[in-house]
Amino acid sequence: MGMGDPLVIRTAAEMSAWSSAAHARGERIAFVPTMGALHEGHVVLLRDGRRRADRLALSIFVNPTQFGPREDLACYPRDLPGDLAKAAGAGTDVAFVPEVGDIYPAGFQTTVEVGELARGLDGPFRPGHFAGVATVVAKLFNIVRPDLAIFGEKDFQQLAIVRRLVADLAMGIEIIGVPTVREGDGLAMSSRNAYLTTAERVRAVSLSRALFAARDRAAAGEGDAAALLETARAALDVDRLDYLELCDVDTLVPVTRVDRPTVLAVAAFIGRTRLIDNVRIGS
CB of 116 to ligand PAF, least distance (A): 19
CB of 66 to ligand PAF, least distance (A): 6
Nearer to ligand PAF, 158 or 231 (CB): 158
CB of 134 closer than 8 Å to CB of 112: yes
42 is a catalytic site residue: yes
Nearer to ligand PAF, 146 or 282 (CB): 146
CB of 163 to ligand PAF, least distance (A): 13
The closest alpha carbon to 178, from 164, 195, 158, belongs to 158
Helices (H), the chain: 12-24, 40-52, 80-89, 100-103, 122-125, 129-144, 156-168, 198-219, 225-235
Rounded to whole angstroms, how far apart are CA atoms 249 and 251?
Answer: 6
Identify any residues that bridge with 32 across adjacent strands, giving them in sequence order.
Answer: 58
Half-sphere CA count of 193, side-chain side, radius 13 A: 21
Binding site for ligand PAF (CB under 6 A): 33-35, 63, 66, 133, 136-137, 155, 158
Nearer to ligand PAF, 192 or 233 (CB): 192
CB of 264 to ligand PAF, least distance (A): 20
Please, what sign has the CA dihedral across residues 16, 17, 22, 26?
positive
Candidates 23, 39, 42, 129; catalytic one: 42
CB of 215 to ligand PAF, least distance (A): 24
Nearer to ligand PAF, 136 or 246 (CB): 136
Rounded to whole angstroms, how far apart are CA atoms 263 and 267?
Answer: 13
Nearer to ligand PAF, 78 or 260 (CB): 78
CB of 130 closer than 8 Å to CB of 118: yes
Active site amino acids: 42
